[in-house]
Structure 1
Amino acid sequence: MPLDLFRNQPALAPELLQAVSGIKPPEYEQISLGSEALTDCNPTEYRCDSTVLLGDPERPDLAIVVEIQLRPDRRKRYSWPVYLSTLRARRECAVTLLVLCPNKATADWCRQPIESGHHGWILRPWVLSLTEVPAVTDVDQARSLPELAVLSTVANADGPDRKAVLTAFAEALEVTDRDKGELYHDYVRSQLSEAARHCLEEIMQAGVYEWQSDFALKHIAEGKAEGKIEGKAEGKIEGKLEGEIELLLVVLESRGFEVGDDLRQRIASCQDLEQIHVWARNAVTASSLDEVFD
């Protein structure tokens, strides 16, 4: 998933490179992905995880090799220098290596200098553990680079800035298209503690923000449905049938459907609890009222 973030948003690479190295990348008007294949005349194929080009794709100012390293691998001590030298020869520009790791132990291994054997020729990779990604609490920053907010949330959701980090992530989802939004939300949720997941859901459901994106509206509708179901299971909802009817109406309104008097009467007069459940499930994903009730 972290690799997909770079492929979806190449600007994440220079942002994290500056965060870990302190070196400001050159100013650029263009940024693009390069080929991951670094094969030279030697029949051995070398393939990195991703490359990001800053500047004109034909004559970039800087090329960043991005590697996601899940565990120590001695072969990378030999292939990483090949990635950089081959890419440098091909693009005729400065190159650097950015490595992301899931934990501190792997990051410490990746940071070890790589001696080439030639005096003074030593590769020192820029390495960032995913647990060390800086906290993004500024809403504007999160909205301008949602992929950074994703990594920030995974790293900092249980830290002292939990609410600000999760709020920034929720705002980032607001400007993310529906497919990516669902992917990012599911990934982040899978990495969060129970307390952080609960906090995120409260933020999304609080009603403080006027969410506009398709993803946010769909998520809120589903969240309300899940919340009602959970509350019902815990004995917090009295009048089971009335509660399910209320839930159905909430979902329909959250999805933007207009519920006329006739339809409202039809729903209110239904005494079949399972039928109400079917309508509520349909309402979460349906694109029209016909799909809900037919």
Structure 2
Amino acid sequence: MVSAPHEAMHRIFQHDPRLFSRLSDALGFSLPTPVEVTVMPTDLTETNPVERRVDTLLRLKSADGSSYLLAIESQRTKNPAKPASWAYYTSYLWTTYKLPTALMVVCQDHAVARWAQQPVTSGPPELPTLTLTPLVVGPHNTPVITDPAEAGADLALATLSAITHATDPDIFAILKALSTALQGEPEDIADPIIEFTAQGLGDRSARQYWRKLVAVDLSFYKSYIAEEIRDEGRAQGRDEGRDEGIAQGQASAILLVLEQRGIRVPDEARERITSCGDLGLLRTWLTRSLTVASAAELFEAE
């Protein structure tokens, strides 16, 4: 069954088709920036009843006039049947379009990325007829972007950083940098980034943290995730007032970040956080929660 993280991992390349060429340094290859990129049909079904569909397919044209195809696959688990499917995709596309075809696999898990990187040969050892070696993008080689200025310079790459590092300890700092970078962007640019990030994080606690950031840092956006959180906040704060509802959300986000980072929160500190009604102070504590070594460090400047 196709999941939201699966879709986000490859659809970010449909949203920004030139993102692939900006991964050259991270992936260790030299590739000129394409002058033209076309999103191609992904249905590779033949006349027989077996349906085969690649996740994303791009046609990239270089300045010298040459073109090639890039098939992009999302892979969240090890699947022994996949290499054969990938070999089919590349050979079918090569045969159909008469263009050189490359395969890129996007992963969120280090072990899955190592598995996907292994060359697979279709023939017996003495007759290696066809060898498949995918280009793999994952937490092992995607930049960790925790600087808001760097995130703002390339929002698509920052989104890919968040998606591929969804299970890493750095994810909270990545998300905070991305939400900060989005604060000055118009809605038509910020909305798809907000949605791709939410989808890519799946059901993990990081998604809850992202939802809090969207509600607080990006409160003027109207994306479905922002509206979803604001509806929750309105229901929660209807009797207590809007500010108190937001304060409770920020307090929950602080405690969630500390919990995910393995930092113990004594009862006294927990009470101080949850009873605070100063939104500015809570935002300061939320920012500090990404880097402090103990709960006590949250309050050192107060």
The equivalent residue for 2:180 is 170
2:36 alignment partner, one of 30, 34, 37: 30
Cα distance 1:45–1:237, how it changes in 2: closer, same or farther (>3 A)? closer
2:137 alignment partner, one of 117, 123, 128: 128
1:39–1:45: 8 Å Cα contact kept in structure 2?
A: yes
Amino acid at match of 1:112: Q
Amino acid at match of 1:72: K
Please give the TM-score of this superposition, normalised by the length of structure 2. 0.58
Amino acid at match of 1:89: T
The equivalent residue for 1:150 is 159
- Post-superposition shift, 1:192? 5.3
The equivalent residue for 1:6 is 13
Higher relative contact order (CA 8 A, sep 6+): 2
- Post-superposition shift, 1:84? 0.8
Please give the TM-score of this superposition, normalised by the length of structure 1. 0.60
- Post-superposition shift, 1:55? 1.8
2:191–2:221: 8 Å Cα contact kept in structure 1?
A: no
The equivalent residue for 2:72 is 66
Amino acid at match of 1:227: I
Tell me how far apart the structure 2 counterparts of residues 165 and 233 of structure 1 sit (CA, whole Å): 21
Cα distance 1:63–1:199, how it changes in 2: closer, same or farther (>3 A)? same
Cα distance 1:29–1:50, how it changes in 2: closer, same or farther (>3 A)? same
1:136–1:142: 8 Å Cα contact kept in structure 2?
A: yes
Amino acid at match of 1:86: Y
What CA deviation, in whole Å up to 9, does each residue of 1:220-241 have, x standing for no partner? x958744334579943349xxx
Cα distance 1:145–1:175, how it changes in 2: closer, same or farther (>3 A)? farther
1:228 alignment partner, one of 247, 264, 273: 247
- Post-superposition shift, 1:13? 3.1
The equivalent residue for 1:81 is 87
Cα distance 1:186–1:101, how it changes in 2: closer, same or farther (>3 A)? closer
The equivalent residue for 2:217 is 204
- When the two chains are superposed, the root-mean-square deviation of aligned CA atoms in Å is 4.3
1:60–1:93: 8 Å Cα contact kept in structure 2?
A: no
2:17 partner SS = coil
Cα distance 1:135–1:175, how it changes in 2: closer, same or farther (>3 A)? farther
Tell me how far apart the structure 2 counterparts of residues 44 and 189 of structure 1 sit (CA, whole Å): 29
Any gaps of 5 or more consecutive residues in structure 1? 206-210, 244-294
Pairing 1:243-258 to 2, within 5 Å after superposition? none
Tell me how far apart the structure 2 counterparts of residues 229 and 43 of structure 1 sit (CA, whole Å): 54
2:57–2:70: 8 Å Cα contact kept in structure 1?
A: yes
Identity of aligned residues (%): 21
1:130–1:151: 8 Å Cα contact kept in structure 2?
A: no
1:39 partner SS = coil
What CA deviation, in whole Å up to 9, does each residue of 1:15-45 have, x standing for no partner? 34x2554222233211121111223465543
Cα distance 1:194–1:110, how it changes in 2: closer, same or farther (>3 A)? closer
1:96 partner SS = strand
- Post-superposition shift, 1:90? 2.3
2:44 partner SS = coil
The equivalent residue for 2:103 is 97
- Post-superposition shift, 1:47? 1.4
Amino acid at match of 1:32: T
Any gaps of 5 or more consecutive residues in structure 2? 1-7, 234-241, 252-271, 280-302
Cα distance 1:194–1:19, how it changes in 2: closer, same or farther (>3 A)? same
